[in-house]
């Protein structure tokens, strides 16, 4: 998906672990987060790992990145928190080079409680951790997530052509390629 030495943009990297891992694999990595605190944490983590990642402050709906400048855009576990999700999707497409790919991964609201419980029980964590995770998923995260049909609608509105959406036990992965 990403050519050797290619450019990657991570949208909403949080503490920056994925961006750091990608940079350590020889990719040119930039990351944009709306949280100044996360940017500071990510910069420290990258420095500690001796990884050359450029962390920038910015909004996913107005990425501070040039048009057609990256080979791959990735956003994990943050989409449900965006205030302007369709604009964010358009921005991900805007910054992709022709032939570039964007990948959006998050939870989906239409996950059943039984599927969620099965997923959490399969993680191999303690009883307390399972209870806490179920409470967190059901009480906060799932409520913020979008159902699959809404994700499809937003992708269409954002002009994601030939989008491929795969479901996971509790989430989705949406792929689009820039023409």
Distance CA 139, CA 145 (A): 11
Q: Which residue has the tokens 């059943």?
A: 112
* % of the chain beyond a pLDDT of 90: 93
The pair of structure tokens assigned to 70 is 């990256």
Q: Dig out the tokens for 99 from the structure.
A: 């032939």
Residue 65 reports pLDDT greater than 90: yes
Q: What are phi and psi of 68, to 5 degrees?
A: 50, 45
| Per-residue pLDDT, 64 | 98
The Cα 140–Cα 126 span in angstroms is 21
Which two tokens mark 77?
């576990």
| Interval 91-103: pLDDT, tens | 999 999 999 999 9
Tens of pLDDT, residues 3-61: 888 999 999 999 999 999 999 999 999 999 999 999 999 999 999 999 999 999 999 99
Alpha helices of 32-106 — where are they, by DSSP H?
A: 36-48, 85-95
CA distances from 49 to 33, 43, 44 (A): 19, 10, 9
Q: What is the pLDDT of residues 155-174, one digit of tens each?
A: 999 999 989 999 998 999 99
pLDDT of residue 120: 95
Q: Say what the pLDDT of residue 77 is.
A: 95
Reply yes or no on whether the pLDDT at 179 is more than 90.
no
**pLDDT at residue number 27:** 96
- The string of pLDDT tens digits covering residues 115-140 is 999 999 999 999 999 999 999 999 88
- Provide mean pLDDT across the span 103-116: 94
Q: How far is CA 44 from CA 20, 21, 117, 133, in A?
A: 11, 14, 36, 28
pLDDT range class, residue 66, cuts 50, 70, 90: very high
- pLDDT at residue 1 is higher than 90: no
């Amino acid at each position: 998906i990403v050519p050797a030495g290619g450019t990657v943009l991570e949208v909403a990297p949080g503490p920056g672990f994925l961006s750091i891992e990608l940079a350590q694999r020889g990719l040119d990595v930039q990351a944009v987060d709306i949280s100044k605190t996360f940017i500071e944490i990510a910069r420290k983590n990258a420095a500690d790992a001796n990884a050359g990642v450029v962390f920038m402050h910015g909004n996913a709906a107005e990425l501070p990145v040039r048009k057609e400048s990256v080979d791959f855009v990735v956003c994990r576990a943050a989409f449900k928190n965006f205030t302007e999700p369709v604009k964010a999707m358009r921005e991900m497409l805007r910054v992709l080079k022709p032939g570039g790919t964007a990948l959006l991964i998050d939870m989906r609201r239409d996950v059943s409680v039984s599927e969620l419980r099965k997923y959490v029980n399969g993680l191999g964590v303690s009883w307390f951790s399972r209870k806490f995770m179920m409470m967190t998923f059901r009480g906060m995260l799932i409520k913020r997530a979008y159902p699959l049909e809404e994700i499809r609608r937003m992708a269409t509105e954002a002009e994601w052509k030939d989008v491929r959406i795969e479901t996971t036990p509790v989430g989705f992965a949406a792929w689009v390629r820039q023409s």
